Amino acid sequence: MMYKYLRKMNLTFFTKLTLLFFLTAPSFVQAQQQQAGPVKFSCAIWNNLSFSEIFYRQGKEFIPLKLSVGNRSELYSLRGATALELYILIEAEKSETGKAEYRLVGQSTLPVGIKRILYFITEINNPESLPLRLSGVDDSLLSFPRGAFRFVNLTNVSLNVYFGEEVNEISPKKMTLVKSKVSKAGGLLPFIVQDPDGRNVYENRFFAQETGRDMVFILPPSNPGGRVNVRLLPQLIAYPRQLSASP
């Protein structure tokens, strides 16, 4: 039966995602070092968080993050820091000091040499740690260019992914990048996932376009013997506008 390969694991989606990104991006746990230039970052959440508003610290300033479930946030800039720090605002009447104050709820050391990062923010229930976990991945256009799809295997077995005219075997807790090679008009490309026995466990079509960058997360089925679950995190990045020559 298919479920012997794709049995549901005890680890949550978010835990598996964290392990994947830390394993595939070891530079994220290097010693702290202040970046020479600004770092650009965006954030994504899969569920609403307990906090109504979250801020990140830029020097002495606290800047609110605009988060939307299942989508990337806008691109933010961080300068002269060794870590991304997230805070909530405690109102004066709820503060122990009687004054409004910002409280740290999550942080992640900035990776050395990476200038654009996508962070997945997840909430954890552990009294010995901060309530928010930040799992980051290199999001530069060099590592993840326009017109490409990033497929992430969060199951416990190798899967064959058919996308367009390409076939890729993705090991457990690994990811791969596939360029769609579509025309400027874009187009629908077949997407098929096969288990180790060659059985189709997911079939669909994804719309690909030159300015698109989509992450596709493949998760174990909700029920034994069912299809794998797939989550899509899309993004469009327009090309820079060309300045017309002076007459």
What is the DSSP code string of 84-106?
EEEEEEEPGGGSTTSS-EEEEEE
Question: Does 92 score more than 90 pLDDT?
Answer: no
Q: Terminal CA-to-CA distance of the chain, rounded, Å?
A: 70
Cα-Cα-Cα-Cα dihedral sign, residues 239, 42, 233, 112: positive
Question: Does 118 score more than 50 pLDDT?
Answer: yes
Stretch 196-214: mean pLDDT? 95
**pTM given for the model:** 0.82
- Band (pLDDT 50/70/90 cuts) for residue 174 is very high
Res 56: pLDDT: 98
Domains along the sequence of the chain with CATH = 31-138 (2.60.40), 144-233 (2.60.40)
Q: Is residue 22 within a helix (H) or strand (E), and if so which, with residue range? A: helix 13-24
Question: Does 5 score more than 70 pLDDT?
Answer: no
Question: Does 151 score more than 70 pLDDT?
Answer: yes
Average pLDDT of every residue of the chain? 85
Residue with tokens 């479920």: 3
Question: Does 144 score more than 60 pLDDT?
Answer: yes
Question: Does 16 score more than 90 pLDDT?
Answer: no
Beta bridge partner(s), residue 167: 162
Res 94: pLDDT: 80
Question: Does 20 score more than 80 pLDDT?
Answer: no
Question: Does 36 score more than 60 pLDDT?
Answer: no
Cα-Cα-Cα-Cα dihedral sign, residues 141, 145, 149, 151: negative
Do residues 195 and 157 make contact, with C-beta atoms less than 8 angstroms apart? yes
Cα-Cα-Cα-Cα dihedral sign, residues 27, 28, 33, 34: positive
- Band (pLDDT 50/70/90 cuts) for residue 17 is low
CA 200 centroid distance within chain:
26
In 3D space, the residue among 41, 45, 35 whose CA is nearest the CA of residue 69 turns out to be 45
Stretch 28-43: mean pLDDT? 66
